[in-house]
């Protein structure tokens, strides 16, 4: 992009006439982010560990981005470790918890047994699958706490009830990517910290607390001091940044353990070595700046458009035909997320989307897009009936989605359903 180019010209556009409503899967980089990446590529191409001007410039970009990311989540710059993305950050936390469990034993001959980790039944695969692999290898034990079918949340009492003497980590996402339900992480942290004080007196391992905040950042308040967590996962491409991430650690290597999964040149204080990806880090810093400055405006806009979408769906199809899969009594949800089913035979979510000419969306997590018409396990675990879950659509609006976009999408869904109803009648 030329220095004089209007940032609006850099906006990533969808094909002519299409409306993208899959912002929980990924977001386009903001124009300011694209500019920051370009600037870093051209002006800060040096190795950040080098002393010549381009290297010093790269180091400055990285330091500035670290400050911006820390400010966004209410932490300190030294608490931020840049990673390749959320998957790496989540794996690093799990790896660290198991390693710390063994390292914390009073003498080498002691043995607390096998480390145990508590999580929920609705976590992202980058938490679930590493745990399943460790269990398979006999290196850890894991409890996947079912979410309440009344609230859609992993309830604090249920999580605490799963804790054992060998528990070393509790990992609960901040908000679910399919239902949008916000989890009670702050209360959970408070209860675990109180429990830890008693465990220390009993000679039991400390329980570390982690939350994957991928879906919440940019859509609501995220403050690590309020949440009280030891670790928090940050994913750039969920808040109009590049496809890298970061891990917040409350005092890495001092207050809170952190063990590297890679070994190399000592970058990121040896917690995550490898020559830093300066342009992407600069882009992440810019995306974080935008969130810090504007998140309340973003939230208000997205909630208005999402609520309009749900009202429009009921007005167009009739309340009896729309089942809201993410409305749970007493639970808060993300401002931008609507998971619903259009009831009727032959209206499986994938079939409806395939008949849409305007809407670009998904039936659930993008990671599971190859699973055919099998309903989302997350929806089933929330108590949504099988035939209803099969028809599910997850629409997630963005910062630039308008009510006009919603009108077009609902019209598109109506024509798709009319076509499928006609096919079903034949």
Cα separation of 282 and 38, whole Å? 9
- Asked whether the beta carbons of 349 and 341 are under 8 A apart, the reply is yes
Cα separation of 142 and 135, whole Å? 7
**Exactly one of 98, 168, 355, 367 is catalytic; which is it?**
367
Annotated catalytic, 367? yes
**Residue 357: alpha-carbon gap to chain centroid:** 29
The residues near 5 (Cβ < 8 Å, ≥ 6 apart) are none
Cα separation of 278 and 376, whole Å? 37
- Asked whether the beta carbons of 288 and 243 are under 8 A apart, the reply is no
| Nearest Cα to Cα of residue 284 among 83, 93, 89 | 83
Question: How would you write 295-308 as a 3-class SS string?
Answer: HHHHHHHHHHHHHH
- Asked whether the beta carbons of 20 and 408 are under 8 A apart, the reply is no
What number of H helices and E strands is found in the chain? 12, 12
Cα separation of 365 and 186, whole Å? 25
Which residues are known catalytic residues? 367
């Amino acid at each position: 992009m030329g220095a004089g180019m209007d940032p609006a010209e850099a906006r990533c556009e969808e094909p002519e006439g299409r409306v993208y409503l899959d912002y929980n899967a990924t977001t386009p980089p903001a124009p300011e982010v694209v500019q920051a990446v370009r600037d870093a590529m051209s002006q800060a191409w040096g190795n950040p560990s080098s002393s010549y001007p381009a290297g010093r410039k790269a180091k400055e970009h990285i330091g500035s981005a670290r400050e911006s990311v820390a400010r966004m989540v209410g932490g300190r710059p030294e608490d931020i470790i840049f990673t390749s993305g959320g998957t790496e950050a989540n794996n690093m936390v799990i790896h660290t918890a198991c390693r710390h469990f063994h390292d914390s034993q009073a003498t080498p001959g002691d043995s607390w047994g096998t480390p145990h980790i508590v999580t929920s039944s609705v976590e992202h695969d980058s938490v679930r699958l590493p745990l399943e692999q460790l269990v398979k290898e006999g290196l850890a034990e894991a409890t996947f706490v079912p979410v309440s079918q009344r609230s859609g949340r992993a309830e604090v009492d249920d999580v605490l009830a799963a804790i054992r003497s060998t528990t070393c980590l509790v990992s609960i996402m901040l908000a679910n990517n399919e239902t949008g339900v916000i989890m009670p992480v702050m209360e959970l942290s408070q209860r675990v910290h109180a429990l830890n004080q008693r465990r220390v007196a009993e000679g039991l391992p400390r329980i570390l607390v982690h939350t994957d905040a991928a879906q919440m950042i940019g859509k609501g308040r995220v403050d690590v001091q309020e949440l009280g967590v030891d670790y928090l996962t940050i994913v750039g491409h969920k808040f109009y940044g590049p496809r890298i991430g970061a891990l917040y650690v409350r005092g890495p290597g001092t207050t809170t353990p952190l063990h590297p999964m890679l070994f190399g040149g000592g970058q990121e204080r040896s917690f995550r070595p490898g020559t830093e990806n300066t342009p992407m880090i600069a882009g992440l810093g810019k995306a974080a700046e935008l969130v810090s400055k504007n998140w309340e405006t973003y939230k208000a806009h997205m909630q208005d458009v999402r609520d309009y979408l749900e009202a429009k769906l009921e007005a167009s199809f009739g309340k009896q035909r729309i089942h809201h899969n993410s409305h749970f009594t007493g639970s808060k949800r993300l401002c931008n997320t609507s998971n619903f089913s259009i009831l009727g035979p032959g209206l499986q979510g994938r079939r409806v989307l395939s008949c849409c000419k305007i809407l670009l969306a998904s039936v659930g997590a993008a990671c599971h897009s190859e699973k055919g018409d099998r309903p989302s396990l997350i929806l089933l675990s929330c108590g949504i009936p099988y035939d209803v879950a099969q028809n599910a659509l997850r629409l997630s609006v963005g910062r630039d989605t308008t009510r006009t976009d919603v009108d077009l999408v609902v019209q598109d869904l109506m024509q798709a359903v009319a076509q499928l109803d006609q096919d079903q009648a034949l």
